[in-house]
Amino acid sequence: MRNEKILYDDGKHKCVIFSFDDDEVEDKFLAVNQYLIIQNNSAVLLDPGSRVLYDEVYDAVTKHIPIENLKYIFFSHQDPDVADSISQWAISCNATFIISKIWTRFMSHYGLMDMNRLHSVADKGGRVSFGDDYLQFIPAHFLHSAGNFSLYDSRSKILFSGDIGANISDVYGADEEIKDFEEAKKSLVGFHKRYMAGNKFCKAWVNHVKKYEVDMIAPQHGVLFKDGYAKDFLDWFEKLECGGDCMDDLY
């Protein structure tokens, strides 16, 4: 299985995707992706996943950097497949955990009572700068979580979009990418229509994202959107009617 791939590496800055098979949906795969961003000797781990995957992700991370160099772990939102392993990570490393401020109070349910290890992100987002480069926390609230952020890496120009862009694929592997957007739409529409709160939120997020030059969209589930497919996805998502726009389907 292809569980790991370097998405970007210029010698100073590196982005790695780890992908572990989470669930099989009939004959299709719903991959769970974790990402590691390394600059010089410091690293940020994104959405490390559930406690079931902790051992594998820990081993994968420590192949790239010593665990003490892991400075931040970013949780796009509070779902178990994103944040359930927080207790294990709290025990095994000294990283600061970054999460939306609305979820900090729930962390004790994941086994964390030491709230001063958390850095809570305000609704409007924020930025972590390192030299000329930065990581931008882009608000993605109600897409689908009520307190949700995407992460844009200015150096690699990758948008780590969390649940936005999640897709079920015929194939499985960390190096897979969208090859045909019209075909991909079929797997995108069901999830996004149900899990995203409404078009108003989709538009707001796309407006924010379009301020940045995005070469790749890397979702938490499924395969990657590279080259023109990233733009195709943003155009599609901006117009998507979902959640509250489709009340009649639900009530």
Measured in whole angstroms, how far is the alpha carbon of residue 145 from the centre of its chain? 12
- Asked if 143 and 164 count as a contact pair (C-beta separation under 8 A), the reply is yes
* DSSP state, residue 177: B
CB of 97 to another protein, least distance (A): 13
51 forms part of the interface with another protein (CB under 8 A): yes
122 forms part of the interface with another protein (CB under 8 A): no
Structure tokens at 55: 């051992």
Nearer residue to another protein within complex by CB, 107 or 166: 107
Contact region with another protein (CB under 8 A), list: 19-27, 89-97, 167-175, 228-236:
89-97
Phi-psi region of 220 (alpha: psi -120 to 50; beta: other; left: phi over 0): alpha
| Count of residues interacting with another protein (CB under 8 A) | 18
Q: For tokens 């995957």, name the residue.
A: 53
Q: Which of 6, 25, 115, 189 binds another protein (CB under 8 A)?
A: 115
- 50: amino acid identity, one letter: S
Contact region with another protein (CB under 8 A), list: 6-14, 90-98, 169-177, 225-233:
90-98
Contact region with another protein (CB under 8 A), list: 52-60, 121-129, 143-151, 159-167:
52-60
Phi-psi region of 21 (alpha: psi -120 to 50; beta: other; left: phi over 0): beta
Q: Which of 37, 46, 57, 90 binds another protein (CB under 8 A)?
A: 90
Nearer residue to another protein within complex by CB, 109 or 210: 109
Which backbone phi and psi does 233 adopt, to 5 degrees?
A: -65, -45
